[in-house]
Amino acid sequence: MTYRITPPRRLKAHIQLPASKSISNRALMIHALSTDSVLPDNLSDCDDTEVMVRALRDMPAEIDIKAAGTAMRFMTAYLCVTPGEYVLTGTERMKQRPIRILVNALRYLGADITYMGEDGFPPLRIRGRQIAGGHLEIPGSVSSQYISALLLIGPVLRDGLTLRMTGEIVSRPYIDLTLCTMREFGARADWTDVDTITVRPSTYIGKPYMIENDWSASSYWYEMMAFTADSEAETLLEGLMDGSRQGDSVVKYIFSLLGVKTQFASTEAGVPTTVKLKCHPSMLPRLDYDFVNSPDLAQTLVVTCCGMGIPFRFTGLASLRIKETDRIAALKRELGKMGFVLTDEGDDVFVWTGERCEPTGEAIDTYEDHRMAMALAPMAIKLGHVDMNHPEVVSKSYPHFWDDLRKAGFTVERL
């Protein structure tokens, strides 16, 4: 399938954002581990959450979590403490995504896990049982999903969990989001040192819980507003909170540098509200930023800076190499088709000096990566239109993305 995306003459949009996938998947894990559990309200309807819902509801002997990285990490930990024998697998790309550090950590705590294919990668055979827990060290530079998976099962471990992270701790806001969500359900879990989290043995207590909408999804609307450079343009986004625990809420500060201002209808703590985005001139000559705490925003900001002609140097991007695709390599190829020459330095630095090349006019490829599709679609505002192969990948986190673009006045048609 290929879409042609053509922008409206003026952007005026009122959007109900999807529920947060990050919070939904954490709340689902807690729901499965809790007593007297109540399914959370406003669960995400994206693919990554749906596979967790089905797995936790049906608990088949073989669980296929498809391309859902969070589900792979969270379910690996969950199955270790759930009686029974299970095979956990996914797509071919998932079988190339490393999981050795998490498996080694769980084995150290007493889990029974066997690789069914190549060592260090899914699929896994897991025999669930009561495990001891205790003290564990893990590199802080690994995916925060590994750390969150361990923390989420911490309360049900016999001796609880003391988790010390060595070296640089990346994606700390996602770890804090996990802790905050756990405490909402009665867990006793907190930082006890600058590099150590202690989770005491306890019981999760089910309660009604409303999930906030997704700040990561909002980033594509910020990008569109940055591209319009039209003081009359306006976008309203529903269901976000001022003071949100979501790490990607930092998007409002980054885009303020790029001329997009954020207004909250209410600043009451913990209350979802309407956010209004308006455009103002941006005179930023260059953007340097470290994405170590918000890697899911990197693609949006790379494309935004290219579209606005703002050179950049972005760091803290090592985790992008092992996502749904190698996102740095994919961005280089696809933005190259649009006429931008980007370079990478080592595993975690991405640079654009302003160098251009002749656009090829080819359709954009999405690499089975939802964020590639959503980050590149707004370039239609700058280029007149964008043709995109396999646009259906957005269902991984934002199933109604194309419908929302149509509501905002974009023409999205199948070629």
Selection from 346, 357, 392 nearest residue 372 by Cα: 392
Catalytic-labelled residue, pool 296, 344, 348, 369: 296
Q: Concatenated DSSP letters for 62-97?
A: EEE-TT-HHHHHHHHHHHHTSSEEEEEE--TTGGGS
Contact predicate 248/216, CB 8 Å: yes
- Treating both helix axes as pointing N-terminal to C-terminal, what angle do 100-109 and 144-153 enclose, rounded to 10 degrees? 20
| Strand, helix or coil for residue 352 | strand
- The number of beta carbons lying within 10 Å of the beta carbon of residue 252 is 22
Q: Which amino acid is at 367?
A: Y
Show the DSSP H helices in 230-343 as ranges: 251-256, 298-308, 327-337
Question: How far from the centroid of its chain's Cα atoms is residue 398's Cα?
Answer: 11
Residues 93 and 88: their CA atoms lie apart, in Å, by: 14
Contact predicate 15/237, CB 8 Å: yes
* Encoded tokens for 163: 């988790």
Phi, psi of 312 (to 5 degrees): -150, 160
Residues 163 and 199: their CA atoms lie apart, in Å, by: 8
Burial of 407 (0-12, 13-18, 19+ CB in 10 A): middle
296 is catalytic: yes
Selection from 59, 74, 63 nearest residue 23 by Cα: 74
Phi, psi of 35 (to 5 degrees): -100, 155
Residues 153 and 135: their CA atoms lie apart, in Å, by: 14
Which helix (H) or strand (E) element contains residue 153? Answer: helix 144-153
Q: Which residues are catalytic?
A: 296
